[in-house]
Amino acid sequence: MAGALGLVGRFVRYLGLAFLVPAAVALGYGEPAWPFLASGAITVAAGWLLVATTGGRQRIGVREGFLVISLTWLLVPAFGSLPYHFANEAQLANPIDAYFEAVSGFTATGATVLVDVEALDRSLLLWRQLSQWLGGMGIVVLAIAVLPKLRVGGRQLLQSELAGPTELERLAVTIRETARRLWVLYVALTVAMALVLAAIGWSGLDEGMGVFDAISHAFTGISIGGFSTRNDSLAAFGPAVQWAVAAFLVVAGVNFLRLYRLFVQRQPRALTRDEEFRFYLGFLALGSVLLVVEMVGNGLVGAEGAVRHAVFQAISIMTTTGYSSADYTEWTALAEMTLLLLMFVGASAGSTGGAIKVVRHLLMAKIVYREIRQTVHRELVLPIRLSGSVVDERALRSVIAFVALYLIILALGAVGLLIDANRYDVEVGAFAAIGAAAACLGNVGPAFGFAGPFGSYEPFSDLSTGILTGLMWLGRLEIVPVVVLLTRSYWRP
Amino acid sequence: MRILVIGAGQVGTTIVEALHADHSLVVVDTDPDRLGVLAYRYDIMTLEGNGASRRVLREAGIVDCDLVIACTSRDEVNIVCGILAEKLAPKARTIVRTRNVEYLEVWLERQLDVDFVVSSELETANAIARVIGLPAARQTEVFAEGQVLMVEFDVAPGMSVGETVGRELREAVIPPDSKVASIIRGGRVLVPRGDASIQPGDRVIVICSPDAARAWGHILSGGRSRAADVVVFGGGATGVAVAGVLLEQGARVRLVESDADRARVVAEELPGVRVFHATGLEADFIERERIGGAEAAIFTMRSDERNLYAATLLKLRGVRFTIAIVDDPASVEVFERAGVDVAVNPRIVTAEEIVRFAHDPRIRQLSMVEGDRFEILDIVVRADSELLGKPFRDLPMTGSLIGAIIRGEQAIFPHGEDMLQPGDRAIIFTESARMHQVERVL
């Protein structure tokens, strides 16, 4: 296990460099830079200490991989929350709240305990946005891509972060090159989004969109995070910005391996032939249509507004981003139910989004259809295919196990929230509890009730905040790497 | 002719039997007992050794051979032997027998440097498809990286006359991107002029695109409104090949395999076939899956005894037509006596196919009809050809036909108003006698 800790130490050590970005921003805006420099120094020192005490050994097998992943995602937000303390931000004075905010950042969830986001310093705001960007594609994926001479296979590490049920399709011969290409694409998309948003601001289409906001939202858009620099999230901007953001979210919710084939290798067929991609678009369309019908039917907003808000919310919630163009908690119960269900759909496997993911729904549907066919024709052998190629039965079983685990953990989380809310007399209904648990486990962000789109998770007690933090952590790692650590056989030699 | 036969199993034995009278044969095998039996029965030379060994091949006198037939039971040995033969005896023609259809595909794409490849599985499957009466499309040649096919169809004898069959070609409905190259009727070859027609029972050779080949298959299946319902027993290599060929020809195919892992492999390989994991003989299964309602059942299981039992049982349960693969040549008679409609021995089928090609002096040409000789030419048109710039309808009708033109990367199936351009690659179907004339004018 020393090797695992050593590797975690190396990841943490390099994270220290990330603090230089908000420090530079702080200098630029004349805000204190020392909180970031101090955090960076502590992070580097802690990482160095971990490496030194474990002798720098890093023989990582399949077993250690799970531990590395789980620990990395626990420790990195811990260091990431340091600036919140040092900057003396009153809203994040409680360490549990600060940790929640950091986990929500790195896991690209977008849930917040802040009530007034705009009260934060610009540098602190940017750090919050940047943490989502760093975690969106995956800390370990980044580490594999940039760390020199990282002598690990990395395949399994990459697999755990780049969520999805099927075998990781390689973009290049080596894992490192694959990780590099993914990051290049990730950076390119982020730059594109920032430029588009900034252009909308410059051209006067939307006065509110400045360069700072453009970059901040590019960080949390492509990473499908959902943090905003505004209290009103995307409602602070006009229709042009909202449509542009929605378009980028749709792209970011696609499997990055397929996007790479499309943009870099010019193989559009890799995308158009992909069953998951088609169903992804289908789910988005279905969700949008349901919401539009519901809103127009109840005369909630004008025609353009109804379509825009419905489409935007469907995309934002289903891809698990969590931006908001309108307060959907004021919509009808049916609309809220639609959004809650969309939270379970999720984005595509291999994207930066979370939740169950479209491909698992697709495979579950195929498994169910097969069971039904086999009740009539018992002896029929029916391999399940995805985009034409056969899916291994083992992978299918893991899909079923994942969905079961997902629902069990969701139920436990929601029940936990209700028990705790009862004790502290916080007003949480059953729907709101399920919504909050689903929003955190699915890395969506905003939920219902007081934790709605323009609300905050602040009213939850410390224990509930802890539960929700755990859900975000589990959701980002797709549960299994963490649950494996809880089995006795894992620790047996 | 001096012929070297590698492998003295059933295929080798059948070949020796057919060719020993007219040719001098050298047979190589690793098993001295088999060679002993052959040498005792026929006047041939035998040599014990590995056919994939260069030393053994030299010793067998491969340098002086005109024809090398590699027909052991192992594909890889045969292929190595064929490749060695091409190098050791460049003037000799080589025939390689494989079981695996994939090697045949590699050869069709010209990536395997031997003269002829026969796949036992595919030959068997084609033979069965012919028996069932589906239009057996035999893909005989592939040109221009698969853009142009030359396909041979058997028109079912009982087929009713329609828009294509039975009508003069100039009025008949012909799928686009295709040309009728030849019509063979009762052993005679007809030049497909405008007044010729395709009749039931004919064999038709078509030069066409892959899409058009499917369209032809559809037309020549007689517009059957309901696909034939066929059950294949046994998911071995032969069963898979049979199921694949039948499926391609539009039949509804079910396959029964008793081994779970094998059933899974077959199901993965053939998405269009419904694969069952069952022995296929339980009364409950037969009743529930309505196996008795199938139009034909094909038995490709490993042992003759099981095939015979299963065929008899299914016949009792109402299957109209039964075809069984037999292993032992003696079983053919037993099966037919017992009431199985047709018994097919894959090795005999394979050997017959090889012998057909061995009889013919030039291997690249088609030898579908005894006594008629055709060539397929793949020629780049010269800049000074006398045919340039003339529309096709003005070209003289001789015994040759330009089936397709490859211009740039694109395959064109020429019509009356098309013209040849310098640098075109022309795929030409011609009688051998006119071959030199064609080469001269182009």
Q: Three-state SS for B230?
A: strand
The model's pLDDT over A365-377, given as tens digits with 9 standing for 90+, comes to 999 999 999 998 9
Tell me whether residues B266 and A381 touch, CB distance under 8 A. yes
Give B264's contacts in chain A (Cβ within 8 Å): 381, 383
Of residues A377, A383, A385, nearest to B264 (C-beta):
A383
Of residues A379, A383, A385, nearest to B276 (C-beta):
A379
Name the residue of chain B whose CA is nearest to A373's CA: B274
What percent of chain B lies above the pLDDT cut of 90? 26
Tell me whether residues A381 and B289 touch, CB distance under 8 A. no
In this predicted structure, the answer to whether residue B364 has a pLDDT above a threshold of 50 is no
A67-94: b or e for each residue (b if 16 or more CB lie within 10 Å)?
Answer: bbbbbbbbbbbbbbbbbbebbebebbee
B374 inside 8 A of chain A by CB = no
Give B263's contacts in chain A (Cβ within 8 Å): 381
> What is the rounded distance in angstroms from the CA atom of residue B426 to the CA atom of residue B442?
9
B278 inside 8 A of chain A by CB = yes
In this predicted structure, the answer to whether residue A110 has a pLDDT above a threshold of 60 is yes
- The alpha carbons of chain B give a radius of gyration, in whole angstroms, of 23
pLDDT score, position B361: 38
Contact A47, A68 (CB under 8 A): no
Of residues B275, B288, B289, nearest to A381 (C-beta):
B275
Tell me whether residues B277 and A381 touch, CB distance under 8 A. yes
Name the residue of chain B whose CA is nearest to A393's CA: B264
A379 inside 8 A of chain B by CB = yes
In this predicted structure, the answer to whether residue B365 has a pLDDT above a threshold of 50 is no
Return the residue in B281, B289, B290, B291 with the most chain A beta carbons within 10 A, the one to mutate for interface testing. Answer: B289
In this predicted structure, the answer to whether residue B368 has a pLDDT above a threshold of 50 is no
Give B274's contacts in chain A (Cβ within 8 Å): 377, 380
Name the residue of chain A whose CA is nearest to B277's CA: A379
In this predicted structure, the answer to whether residue B138 has a pLDDT above a threshold of 60 is no
* C-alpha distance from residue B13 to each of A2, B36, B264, B348 (Å): 68, 12, 36, 9
B267 inside 8 A of chain A by CB = yes
The model's pLDDT over A391-401, given as tens digits with 9 standing for 90+, comes to 888 889 989 99
For the complex shown, is ipTM > 0.85? no
Q: Which helix (H) or strand (E) is B233 found in, with range?
A: strand B229-233
B276 inside 8 A of chain A by CB = yes
In this predicted structure, the answer to whether residue A200 has a pLDDT above a threshold of 60 is yes
In this predicted structure, the answer to whether residue B371 has a pLDDT above a threshold of 50 is no
The model's pLDDT over B58-114, given as tens digits with 9 standing for 90+, comes to 999 898 898 999 999 899 999 999 999 988 988 888 999 998 888 888 887 778 888
* Helix B237-248, helix B120-132: angle, nearest 10: 50
In this predicted structure, the answer to whether residue A251 has a pLDDT above a threshold of 50 is yes
The model's pLDDT over A350-364, given as tens digits with 9 standing for 90+, comes to 888 888 999 999 999
* C-alpha distance from residue A128 to each of A35, A99, A133, A210, B380 (Å): 14, 12, 9, 18, 68
Name the residue of chain B whose CA is nearest to A382's CA: B267
Span B327-344, average pLDDT: 85
Neighbours of B429 (CB within 10 A): 26
Beta strands B274-277 and B425-431: pairing type?
Answer: unpaired
Domains of chain B, earliest start first:
2-114 (3.40.50.720), 154-220 (3.30.70.1450), 229-346 (3.40.50.720), 374-441 (3.30.70.1450)
Span B189-199, average pLDDT: 80
Return the residue in B276, B282, B287 with the most chain A beta carbons within 10 A, the one to mutate for interface testing. Answer: B276
The model's pLDDT over A150-170, given as tens digits with 9 standing for 90+, comes to 655 566 677 667 666 655 566
Tell me whether residues B267 and A377 touch, CB distance under 8 A. no
> What is the rounded distance in angstroms from the CA atom of residue A442 to the CA atom of residue A429?
19
* Average model confidence (pLDDT) across chain A: 88
Span A90-119, average pLDDT: 92
pLDDT score, position B369: 33
Looking at B15-29, B65-79, B158-172, which range is the least confident one?
B158-172
A381 inside 8 A of chain B by CB = yes
pLDDT score, position A418: 93
Predicted TM-score (pTM) of this structure: 0.79
Which has more confidence, B154 or A380? A380
Q: How far off is chain B from A434, nearest CA to CA, in Å?
A: 41
Give B275's contacts in chain A (Cβ within 8 Å): 380-381
Tokens describing residue B411: 């395959």
Residue B406's pLDDT band, with cuts at 50, 70 and 90, is confident
Contact B89, B316 (CB under 8 A): no
What is the DSSP track for A281-335? HHHHHHHHHHHHHHHHHTT-S-HHHHHHHHHHHHHHHHTT----SS-GGGS-HHH
Q: How far off is chain A from B276, nearest CA to CA, in Å?
A: 4
Contact A434, A337 (CB under 8 A): no
What percent of chain A lies above the pLDDT cut of 70? 93
